[in-house]
């Protein structure tokens, strides 16, 4: 059996496990998915690849709403210490391996902006100076 058909069957089987699907719906979904997968295989460049070890791939991995782990290829809002432990890495090791700057947060851009805004609203630096002058 061709690989694109087996991949399509795998996807449709997973879909059929979570919702009721008729026989005709299953057949049409397998056919359409198979065609899409075949066209993706024949047209390189449709699927973004992250070549290992390049700083360009590290930059492409951080997107607006997701960050792609370059070890697993999975997308997250934040790459956690726990996820990296599966690959025997700490966040610092991961940054060094993939060419990120030392203090770079392993989160998507929207979450970085949200955190920055929250910290500016909290104004912790002003509280510290007030506490020190009161003591």
More confident residue, 105 or 129: 105
* Residue-wise DSSP of 93-127: HHHHHHT--TT--SB-HHHHHHHHHHHHHHTHHHH
Q: Is residue 134 part of a domain?
A: no
**Residue 49 resides in a domain:** no
DSSP per residue over 47-98, as a string?
S----TT-HHHHHHHB-SS-EE-TTT--EESB--HHHHHTTT--HHHHHHHH
Can you give the pTM of this predicted structure? Answer: 0.52
Residue 46 has pLDDT above 70, yes or no: no
- In a domain, residue 91? The reply is yes
Q: What is the pLDDT of residue 45?
A: 54
**88 and 38 together in one domain:** no
pLDDT for res 135: 65
114: CATH: 1.10.10.1550
26 is a domain residue: yes
Residue 17's domain spans which residues? 3-42
Mean pLDDT of 118-123: 88
């Amino acid at each position: 059996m061709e690989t694109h058909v087996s991949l399509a069957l795998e996807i449709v089987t997973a879909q059929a496990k979570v919702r009721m699907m008729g026989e005709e719906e299953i057949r049409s979904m397998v056919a359409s998915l198979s065609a899409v997968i075949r066209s993706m295989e024949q047209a390189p460049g449709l699927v973004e690849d992250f070549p290992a070890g390049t700083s360009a791939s590290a930059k492409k991995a951080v997107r607006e709403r997701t960050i792609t782990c370059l070890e697993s290829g999975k997308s997250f809002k934040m790459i956690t210490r726990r996820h990296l432990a599966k690959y025997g890495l700490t966040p610092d090791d991961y940054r060094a391996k993939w060419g990120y700057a030392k203090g770079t947060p392993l989160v998507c851009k929207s979450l970085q902006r949200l955190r920055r805004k929250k910290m500016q609203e909290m104004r912790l630096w002003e509280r510290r100076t007030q506490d020190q002058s009161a003591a």
